[in-house]
Amino acid sequence: MPEEKVTTAQFGDKIRNEIRKVVQGQHEVVDQLLVCVLARGHALLEGVPGIAKTLIAKTLAYVLGGDFKRTQFTPDMMPSDITGTNVFDVRSSTFRLRQGPVFANLFLADEINRTPPKTQSALLEAMEERRVTIDGVDHPLPDLFFVMATQNPIEYEGTYPLPEAQLDRFLLKIEMTYPSQEEEKDILRRYQAGFDPHDLLSAGVQRVLDSPQELARCWEELSAVRVEEGVLAYITEVVRHTRDDFQVSLGGSPRASVALFKCSRASAALQGRDYVTPDDIKSLAVPVLRHRLLLHPEAEIEGVTPDQIVQETISKIPVPR
């Protein structure tokens, strides 16, 4: 009998179930990361330390059948610390490439705003081009190349905030919050039962994919997801409306429209649909747009946030029928 084809929705359910074995709560965060992986983008995570950012990243890489590398960004970090460098091999009298941590399926750039702009740019170039250039030679990155960069929303002293043009390279900005009281109690119960976050196998986590190449089937399925003219118009109207808001000095660019388009198709496929609905747009508009809007200083002083602007925009625009 021919092998039964596994759909993107089934893949998504399996991945969620495996991640839940080690991560309590954060369901919306996991869903948005899955959307980002399927849309072949990168995610910027913002949250205080200790809420499982690294654990989610490591577990996601494992269940996808890929390799995981993490780098703590620091003020003295050089671009070659990320991309790698050519080193001289005395035995062969030739130079060979010593790959940096960016040569991974899932790369966690911890506290990306703590490293200088030159190093930030080296990573962001790799994200955009999906290759790195070392001594004038291009080196391709894996087909599944997913960057999760983190920022601490509390400590800004000694940081190098990402410029708007670089923030725009991230498909989603995902905000992680504290778990609920009951979820936090469940975390303690797991540790009481002997849970070790450094040993995923002992927690019973299993790979959903044998290798990241199997994701190609999901990427193909996404290309068949339909976006009707009315929904296309809805996407463009949402993004264009952010440019006209009197509280906004810089609204969403056409890249934001493309990001919302790609993410909505991934969301539809994860829910087992071959068409996009306005609800897909509504659920993803905030993480797609929140880091792409620059508010006027007067609005910031009054406590207005990009999330509020996007939510108000969604509430004003008629939903296509």
Domain ranges for the chain, please list them.
Answer: 8-216, 224-316
What does the pLDDT read at residue 155? 64
In eight-state DSSP terms, residue 51 is: S
pTM for the complete prediction?
0.91
pLDDT tens for the chain, residues 1 to 321: 334 567 889 899 999 999 999 998 899 999 999 999 999 999 999 988 889 899 999 999 999 998 999 999 999 999 999 998 888 777 877 778 888 899 999 999 999 988 888 888 888 888 988 999 888 888 899 889 999 999 877 766 667 888 887 888 899 999 999 999 999 999 999 899 888 888 888 888 899 988 787 888 888 889 899 999 999 999 999 999 999 999 999 999 999 999 999 999 999 999 999 999 999 999 999 999 999 999 999 999 999 999 999 999 999 999 987
- How far apart CA 204 and CA 142 sit, in angstroms, is 27
Q: Closest by alpha carbon to 228, among 203, 264, 204, 263? A: 264
What CATH code is assigned to 8-216?
Answer: 3.40.50.300
- Helix, strand or coil, per DSSP, at residue 27: helix
Give the C-alpha separation, 85 to 128, whole Å. 20
Nearest partner of 126 among 114, 138, 111, judged by Cα? 138
Per the structure block, which two tokens stand in for 91? 């035995």
> Which of 109, 99, 106 minimizes the C-alpha distance to 145?
106
Give pLDDT, residue 285. 96
Which pLDDT value is given to residue 43? Answer: 96
pLDDT at 265: 96
pLDDT, residue 3, reads 46
SS3 253: coil
Q: Report the topology of domain 224-316.
A: Helicase, Ruva Protein; domain 3 (1.10.8)
Q: What is the DSSP letter of 75?
A: T
Please report, for the chain, how many H helices and E strands are present, in that order. Answer: 13, 11
pLDDT the model gives residue 157: 65
- pLDDT score for 1: 33
Q: For residue 89, with 0-12 CB atoms within 10 Å meaning exposed, 13-18 middle and 19 or more buried, which class applies?
A: exposed
In the DSSP assignment, the letter for residue 4 is: P
β-strand 131-134 against 146-151: which pairing, if any? unpaired
Spatial separation of the C-alpha atoms in residues 256 and 259, rounded to whole Å:
5
